Amino acid sequence: AQTVTQSQPEMSVQEAETVTLSCTYDTSESDYYLFWYKQPPSRQMILVIRQEAYKQQNATENRFSVNFQKAAKSFSLKISDSQLGDAAMYFCAYRSANTDKLIFGTGTRLQVFP
């Protein structure tokens, strides 16, 4: 069975600085997708970024980028120029290419200090 592990329950960063959130996963499949979701205090789940396992190039969305290391089964999220609005829970998620269900990690709470 696939699992997703987020080993950092909490992280903090100063405004305008850069922070990296870690995620590792376990799977025997070769074709899958990885996601980062943000959950602010409003509790809405917001898709931040997506990575296809077959793509070697790391995904980027504005200030958000990932470091995808397929062999190491690692998928970290880098937030550059952190803003107060980035404060939220961040969930890493895995989806097999054969199913649609998302498997989530336990989340990392990110605090942003002015």
Partner 1 sequence: DSGVTQTPKHLITATGQRVTLRCSPRSGDLSVYWYQQSLDQGLQFLIQYYNGEERAKGNILERFSAQQFPDLHSELNLSSLELGDSALYFCASSVRGEQFFGPGTRLTVL
Q: Return the biggest CA–CA distance within the chain.
A: 43
Residue with Cβ nearer partner 1 (13 or 89): 89
Q: Could you count the other beta carbons within 10 Å of the beta carbon of residue 77?
A: 23
Residue ranges that bind partner 1, judged by CB under 8 A? 33, 35, 37, 42-47, 50, 91, 95, 99-104, 106-107
Residue with Cβ nearer partner 1 (6 or 82): 6
Residue with Cβ nearer partner 1 (37 or 82): 37
Distance CA 87, CA 81 (A): 13
Nearest approach, Cβ of residue 15 and partner 1 (Å): 26
Nearest approach, Cβ of residue 57 and partner 1 (Å): 18
Nearest approach, Cβ of residue 100 and partner 1 (Å): 6
Nearest approach, Cβ of residue 14 and partner 1 (Å): 29
Q: Could you count the other beta carbons within 10 Å of the beta carbon of residue 21?
A: 23
The string of DSSP codes covering 5-62 is E---SEEEEETTS-EEE--EEE-S-SSEEEEEEEE-TT---EEEEEEETT--SPPEET
Residue with Cβ nearer partner 1 (35 or 68): 35
